[in-house]
């Protein structure tokens, strides 16, 4: 029912945002605190973005391990991880090309994710 935005399917993001919003609302309600609607919406959006970054962090670790253990595996799980991470790797390879057969793009991705997550933590606090 929700249209796609280019290559991105928005329906899972909207569902994840609704779940994050409901969870945050329930936690605040149980704790007995009050929070404005706009603040609640912003905290849920920031929390969703942080969760997506965490998923990408672990997916990149999985892709690195898969590239060592089973580089040409046709199993669905490694294929899913590689489909998820390959756009990030391609973007990072434009910045840091492979050096002597060694791909340093995961290191750049880890650094960028960690920097973004640390800045998100500073903004929310």
Dist. CA 37–CA 35, nearest whole Å: 7
How long a stretch of residues is the chain?
Answer: 125
User: One digit per residue, pLDDT tens: the chain, 125 residues?
Assistant: 777 888 778 888 899 999 999 999 999 889 888 888 888 898 999 999 999 999 999 999 999 999 889 888 888 999 999 999 999 999 999 999 888 888 899 999 999 999 999 998 787 76
Dist. CA 105–CA 62, nearest whole Å: 14
How big is the CA angle at 109 (ends 44 and 94), to the nearest 5 degrees? Answer: 125
Roughly what angle, to the nearest 10 degrees, separates helices 76-95 and 105-124? 90
Which residues are CB-contacts of 87 (< 8 A; sequence separation ≥ 6)? none
Closest CA to 114 of 50, 43, 42, 29: 50
For residue 70, the SS3 value is coil
How big is the CA angle at 116 (ends 111 and 118), to the nearest 5 degrees? Answer: 95
For residue 2, the SS3 value is coil
pTM (predicted TM-score): 0.84
């Amino acid at each position: 029912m929700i249209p796609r935005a280019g290559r991105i399917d928005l329906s899972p993001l909207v569902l994840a945002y609704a779940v994050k919003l409901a969870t945050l609302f329930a936690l605040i309600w149980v704790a007995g605190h009050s929070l404005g609607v706009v603040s609640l919406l912003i905290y849920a959006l920031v929390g969703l973005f942080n969760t997506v970054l965490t998923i990408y962090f672990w997916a990149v670790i999985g892709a690195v391990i898969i590239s060592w253990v089973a580089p040409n595996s046709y199993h669905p799980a490694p294929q899913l991880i590689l489909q998820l991470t390959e756009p990030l790797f391609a973007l990072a390879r434009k910045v840091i090309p492979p050096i002597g057969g060694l791909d340093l793009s995961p290191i750049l991705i880890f650094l960028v994710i960690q920097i973004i997550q640390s800045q998100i933590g500073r903004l929310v606090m």
